[in-house]
Chains A and B, each alone.
Chain A
Amino acid sequence: EIVLTQSPVTLSLSPGQRATLSCRASQSISRYLAWYQQKPGQAPRLLIYDASLRATGIPARFSGSGSGTDFTLTISSLEPEDFAVYYCQQRSNWYTFGQGTKLEIK
Chain B
Amino acid sequence: EVQLVESGGGLVQPGRSLRLSCAPSGFTFFGYELNWVRQAPGKGLEWVSSINTIGDAIYYADSVQGRFTISRDNAKNSLYLQMDSLRAEDTAVYYCARVAVSGYYFYFMDVWGKGTTVTVSS
Contact = CB atoms under 8 A, between A and B. Distances in A.
Interface residues of A, number: 26
A45 B111 CA distance: 8
B87 interface: no
B66 to A, nearest CB: 16
Contacts of A36: 45, 109
B110 interface: yes
Contact of B44 (A42, A49, A98): A98
A36 B47 CA distance: 14
Contacts of A49: 100, 102, 106, 108, 110
A72 B110 CA distance: 20
B107 interface: yes
A53 interface: yes
Nearest to B105: A32
A83 interface: no
A46 B103 CA distance: 17
A60 B9 CA distance: 37
Interface residues of B, number: 23
Interface string B55-67: 0000101000000
Interface string A53-94: 101000000000000000000000000000000010101001
Interface stretch (B15-23, B68-76, B112-120): B112-120
Contact of B46 (A32, A46, A53, A97): A97
A87 B47 CA distance: 13
Nearest to A50: B102
Contacts of A50: 102-104, 106
